[in-house]
Structure 1
Amino acid sequence: MNKRNFAELKEKEFDLIVIGGGITGAWIALDASRRGLSTVLLDKDDFGAATSAKSSKLLHGGIRYLQQLQFSKVRESAIERSWYQSVAPHLCHFIPFLVPCYRDIRKSKLLLRIGMMLYRVLCYGENSRIKDFHKKIPKGWFISKKKLVSLVDLAESDSLTGGSVFYESHMENSERMTLAIIKSAVDSGAFAYNYTRVERFINDDNKIKGVSVADRIDGDEFKIRGRMIINTTGPWIDGLNRTLFNSDPHDITTGFSKGSHIVTRQIIKDYAVALPSQHKGQSIVDRGGRHVFVIPWRGHSLIGTTNEPLDNGLDNLSITNKEIENLIFEVNSSIPSAKLDRNDVLYSFSGIYPLQANTIKTDTYQGTGEYLIIDHESHSEIKGLITALGAKFTTSRLVAEKTVDLVTAKLDLAVSCKTKGIPLTSGTITDIESFKDRKCVEFNHLFPVDLTQSLIRRYGKDIDSIYSLGKSEPQLLRTVSERDNIIEAEIVYIVKNEAVCHLSDLIFRRTGLGTIGNPGAQCLSQCVKIMGDLLNWDDKTRHNELESVMNHLNTAVSPNN
């Protein structure tokens, strides 16, 4: 990826400046660069560190929209889910979800059968878009009460009648998905810089001609010129737009909701389960409230999500003790044998979700999955600016396609989208299982089979670069984390090639070492030494970076509220 050299940014005028390096901004940068637009992507923090990293890691097929009778959203989500299987086959896999059924008509097998039949119709043709047989979406089925309770030790209930099994696509590391898209954009000619904050727009008589930015690493301030600018900063959209025309902060969003997850010891190994909860959901066909998901994830359970009104600002977000207790209560109520307590909570994270509801209900989930693309020339007579608010990770590619379509129309360029089913740089793998088998044999003299498979899940074809490092410098084969199956060569590769600026970038996003709990003092010491040596950190910087990571790990399990 681009080194932190801003000379070229200061000298040229770009066709497109993309502000916000979350999943939507990443796809916009890739789409635009593949169409031949000179593109620069900027983020004030690390790539994909905010909302895009704080989800249940699902590339869902839109089944939740059935309850809202949003049939077009179901179809849209299903199609977009299929594209991910082709563009990044190494970064996602299908897991079976269990949905319990009850005698209550709203939660009955009958109603769910009708829903699943309709869902299959709306998803028709999804598998035809996926060329690799191993990546096709498996069929779901219904199971008896006896079978259900043998799989999940649900609380005994006379009203329980069985359940449904359907498959969803899950990511081991959603942050690496975002990064893989950005790296592919750079490979297509884009520039991408994290920790580069846009301070204001350059406005010349209601025509935006660029942005003023600040390098948060070295403190440099400079301007970047662009023919079109896209604000895709998610929850920060209104705040950035207000620097331009002092608009009402709720012009685009009407409020924010916070959703939190916890990571615990593993409760259920082979299935995810959608548990009934006391939380309200905003839907037309009501199954009796929102579900809490318990998802098997990297040898642990990922549990969420909560829904809380946001009342303490957009930055420095963290879970509350109340949210942790509520999630533990919901799981223990439905699965008594889980016997979760606070000591089982190894990590947590919280994300912000912009709302567009006319009336905000603090006790009801109001997410709709609706995205917004606003041309400010027609919206507020400001030329050169587009705002793109993506709603879901799954449909972000489509939001990007529509946004770049608008950009090319304004620049009078006749170039079509080149992201549908076209693999990312690290995902040019036609048969994922054959690729794994081949690499396990090719690398068996250097890497154990389980290490090769882990590296493929994280890096796809880029495993070759890590292999080359290990082969040329055998000392880099030393283990950093047995729990996560990570070696020093991987850390060196990341620091040299993936735009890490802080230890937290490495621990929480590039490797995920910290996102299933504290990886241990020895692991952290190895990481800070390797990274510090490569980036020439002094002792004070190393101490501060390590302290920052430890503070985050501690707050994630013991919030100060």
Structure 2
Amino acid sequence: MQELKPVDLVVIGGGINGAGIARDAAGRGLSVILCEKDDLAQGTSSRSGKLIHGGLRYLEYYEFRLVREALIEREVLLNAAPHIVWPMRFVLPHSPEQRPAWLVRLGLFLYDHLGGRRKLPGCRNIDLRRDPEGKSIRDEFTRAFEYSDCWVDDARLVSLNALDAKERGALVMTRTSATAARRVDGAWEVEFTAADGAQSKVRARAIANAAGPWVENVINGVAGSNSPRRVRLVKGSHIIVPKFWWGPQAYLFQNDDKRVIFVNPYEGDMALIGTTDIPYEGRAEDVAIDEREVDYLLAAINRYLKSPITRDKVIHAFSGVRPLYDDNAENPSAVTRDYVFDVAGEPPMLSVFGGKITTYRKLAEHALEKLKPFFPQMKPAWTAAAPLPGGDMPDADFERFLSRLSEATPWLPDELAHHYARLYGTRTTDVLNGARDVSGLGQHFGGLLYQAEIDYLRRAEWALTAEDVLDRRTKHGLHLSAGQREAVRRYMGG
């Protein structure tokens, strides 16, 4: 068994919370190992609704602290990663059967003012009979409210946090499970097993357990310990259909069960629709959408549409397991989206229960604050003003950056330049790797996917399989045929 150099912190879990904690800790001067049993963001963190949002409906559950924190984080992340986070306007048709107009207006007023909004425009009223946003909406819905939130490429957010952690000195070990952890002579002794069977171990002063749906498995199985806190698994499923409206706006539809359904423009000519909220008791690895969820989502949006979306229009579907902190709420939709820490023993194991992608950076800050008594020489918080890799654009101005990229690479087709700018930002030059014309990008696999991008992702972002590239680091898989996907698989060695 290989013995690794001792470290300050082992982070277990390569989703957004684990990657965020590893990045923050490395930037504070701690030596860090981040281990993930699968690929980065392979679980919940690539199967979200892909929104950076305050959570408008959480106001109904009086989650004011969480909503305020999330609203503040919207603009922090807009500045940190303007390539993968961008503003989006949401149209909320008024349905008086669900919520009275005064209640919606009150909620939107709070939403506009709780977080000290600076960059995003405030809410406004829309006349669906006159304004273009109403063209696809049934005539009985005559008014709507429009407000701001943000879109995020969730899996790329994880990759960029891990990449920043690596560049600040962290060791990132993907496809490597933490198989045992024991307190020995005042430190943790953690054993790892890689996918190829190779084993290693390390001594660490602390563990951060950010395993998401598997957080209790790490506490009970890996560390042989216990916690009074519990995680509650809730399945959220999404479907993808062709985009059925004109304009860049998204929609938020109120359902008759008091839930809301997001309908977001996706990948240019598609729409992402979700999500469901269903208690889940199986293995998190086995989660999948079922037919009732598809019916539920279609019924919820078709209530509003002039031209209903039929089941045969569903292009793709995916499900994720949200590991919520179990606060004993009866309704899965009412379970808190806030996060809770359990710091146990000495040397400590910090376990993360709950959380949402929007507040991952603040969660990481709070986690490091909890560990500060064990690391008195740790540097202060730093991530609030630090761009993520590729996000270091002047004034966080994506459009200006894209314009300058196009001027510098006139040979690059506009659509391809936009794709690279959106996914890689200022790291686009690393992707191009010296290419001076399209042929310099290497083999063309279809759509916007060229060999140069695959090579970059293998070289810099731990991509090992076709799925890593096509489904997580990018969404090329939605635009390629089965044969084209197979060509990528062959190129990557299976």
Q: What is the TM-score of this pair, normalised by structure 2?
A: 0.93
Contact 2:9–2:33 (CA<8 Å) still a contact in 1?
yes
Return the match for 2:463 from 461, 484, 500.
500
The match for 1:554 is none
Contact 2:276–2:293 (CA<8 Å) still a contact in 1?
yes
Write out aligned runs for 1:107-146 (5 A): 107-124=99-116, 126-127=117-118, 136-146=119-129
The match for 2:252 is 274
Write out aligned runs for 1:171-210 (5 A): 171=152, 173-204=153-184, 208-210=187-189
The runs of 5 or more residues in structure 1 that have no matched partner are 1-5, 128-135, 280-288, 533-541, 543-561
Whether 1:405 and 2:369 are equivalent positions in the alignment is: yes
1:465 is displaced (CA, Å) by 1.4
Write out aligned runs for 1:13-162 (5 A): 13-104=6-97, 107-124=99-116, 126-127=117-118, 136-147=119-130, 151-157=134-140, 160-162=141-143
CA–CA separation in structure 1 for the residues paired with 2:42 and 2:283: 16
Partner SS state of residue 213, structure 1: strand
1:152 is displaced (CA, Å) by 4.5
Contact 2:325–2:337 (CA<8 Å) still a contact in 1?
no
Aligned CA-pair RMSD: 2.2
Contact 2:327–2:336 (CA<8 Å) still a contact in 1?
no
Return the match for 1:448 from 382, 398, 413.
413
> 1:42–1:442: structure 2 CA closer, same or farther, 3 Å change rule?
same
The match for 2:336 is 368
AA at the equivalent of 1:407: L
* Between 81-90 and 494-503, the greater mean CA deviation after superposition: 494-503
AA at the equivalent of 1:444: P
CA–CA separation in structure 2 for the residues paired with 1:521 and 1:354: 33
Contact 1:374–1:388 (CA<8 Å) still a contact in 2?
yes
1:472 is displaced (CA, Å) by 8.8
AA at the equivalent of 1:114: L
Write out aligned runs for 1:369-388 (5 A): 369-377=337-345, 382-388=346-352
The match for 1:293 is 262
Whether 1:166 and 2:147 are equivalent positions in the alignment is: yes
CA–CA separation in structure 1 for the residues paired with 2:62 and 2:403: 43
Return the match for 1:415 from 379, 390, 402.
379
Contact 2:323–2:354 (CA<8 Å) still a contact in 1?
no
The match for 1:211 is 190
Identity %: 28
1:137 is displaced (CA, Å) by 1.2
CA–CA separation in structure 2 for the residues paired with 1:323 and 1:425: 37
Kindly report structure 1 stretches of 4+ aligned residues shifted beyond 6 Å. Answer: none
1:463 is displaced (CA, Å) by 0.5
CA–CA separation in structure 2 for the residues paired with 1:33 and 1:61: 28
The match for 2:405 is 439
Return the match for 2:207 from 196, 221, 229.
229
CA–CA separation in structure 2 for the residues paired with 1:15 and 1:247: 23
CA–CA separation in structure 1 for the residues paired with 2:230 and 2:415: 46
The match for 1:133 is none
> 1:81–1:358: structure 2 CA closer, same or farther, 3 Å change rule?
closer
CA–CA separation in structure 2 for the residues paired with 1:163 and 1:367: 28
1:45 is displaced (CA, Å) by 0.7
* Between 448-457 and 323-332, the greater mean CA deviation after superposition: 323-332
CA–CA separation in structure 2 for the residues paired with 1:241 and 1:148: 54
1:103 is displaced (CA, Å) by 4.0
Contact 2:229–2:342 (CA<8 Å) still a contact in 1?
no
1:309 is displaced (CA, Å) by 1.8
AA at the equivalent of 2:341: I
CA–CA separation in structure 2 for the residues paired with 1:111 and 1:152: 25
Contact 1:262–1:348 (CA<8 Å) still a contact in 2?
yes
Q: What is the TM-score of this pair, normalised by structure 1?
A: 0.82
The match for 1:312 is 282
CA–CA separation in structure 2 for the residues paired with 1:502 and 1:467: 21
CA–CA separation in structure 1 for the residues paired with 2:6 and 2:225: 26
AA at the equivalent of 1:197: S
Contact 2:190–2:201 (CA<8 Å) still a contact in 1?
yes
- Please list the CA deviations of residues 131-161 of structure 1 after superposition, one character each: whole Å capped at 9, or x if unmatched: xxxxx2123211124136853533343xx45
Contact 1:210–1:229 (CA<8 Å) still a contact in 2?
no
The match for 1:354 is 323
CA–CA separation in structure 2 for the residues paired with 1:211 and 1:24: 20
CA–CA separation in structure 2 for the residues paired with 1:14 and 1:364: 39
AA at the equivalent of 2:260: H
Return the match for 2:295 from 325, 329, 341.
325
The runs of 5 or more residues in structure 2 that have no matched partner are none
Partner SS state of residue 90, structure 1: coil
CA–CA separation in structure 2 for the residues paired with 1:224 and 1:488: 37
CA–CA separation in structure 1 for the residues paired with 2:329 and 2:354: 19
Return the match for 2:485 from 511, 524, 531.
524
* Between 239-248 and 190-199, the greater mean CA deviation after superposition: 239-248
> 1:442–1:358: structure 2 CA closer, same or farther, 3 Å change rule?
closer
> 1:525–1:103: structure 2 CA closer, same or farther, 3 Å change rule?
closer
Partner SS state of residue 499, structure 1: coil
CA–CA separation in structure 2 for the residues paired with 1:407 and 1:488: 43
- Please list the CA deviations of residues 377-415 of structure 1 after superposition, one character each: whole Å capped at 9, or x if unmatched: 2xxxx5321112341001010110111122232122241
